[in-house]
């Protein structure tokens, strides 16, 4: 393999590793997201985890005691919907932030930055006869 192709491969691998580390961190941040919301009537509060499952449900200031079962149910459902919407916004924001990390300071997506590396040329040379990924004779490939 030529020095130029080796350099391009090293550059591509370094870029890949940086992006992988950034995406792992983003996944960890997103997994730690929690959302707490209150109903409009301020009677119910719910906390959701990153997966959307309720972690806590609280009835505030005993307001629920003056509510009918139907009113209380409507309040619980309302606050669950609101919390899930907010959770979606925060998770999307975390994802968008991670895409921003992958885009890097140039603002261009990773695939645009990698385009100039000539990866097809690099792969062709690796698959060429005698290269590490050259098809073996007699194995039915190539």
Calpha distance 101→126 (Å, rounded): 30
Q: Who wins on pLDDT, 13 or 36? A: 36
| 131 SS3 class | coil
* Token output for 125: 């040379």
Calpha distance 45→55 (Å, rounded): 11
Q: Compute the mean pLDDT over every residue in the chain, rounded to the nearest whole number.
A: 79
Dihedral sign from CA coordinates of 112, 116, 117, 119: positive
* Residue 36 pLDDT: 96
In the chain, where are the structural domains located?
32-123
pLDDT tens-digit profile of 76-109?
999 999 999 999 998 888 777 776 655 554 555 5
pLDDT tens-digit profile of 37-52?
999 999 999 999 988 9
> CATH assignment of 32-123?
3.30.1310.10
């Amino acid at each position: 393999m030529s020095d130029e192709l080796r350099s391009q491969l090293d550059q591509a691998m370094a870029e890949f590793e940086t992006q992988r580390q950034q995406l792992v961190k983003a996944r960890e941040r997103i997994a730690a997201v929690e959302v707490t919301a209150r109903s409009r009537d301020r009677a119910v509060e719910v906390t959701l985890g990153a997966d959307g499952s309720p972690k806590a449900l609280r009835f505030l200031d005993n307001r629920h005691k003056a509510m009918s079962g139907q009113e209380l149910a409507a309040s619980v459902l309302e606050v669950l919907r609101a919390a899930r919407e907010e959770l979606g916004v925060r998770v999307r924001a975390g994802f968008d932030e991670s895409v921003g990390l992958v885009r890097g300071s140039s603002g261009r997506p990773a695939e645009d930055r990698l385009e100039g590396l000539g990866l097809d040329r690099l792969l062709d040379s690796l698959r060429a006869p005698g290269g590490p990924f050259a098809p073996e004779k007699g194995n039915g490939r190539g």
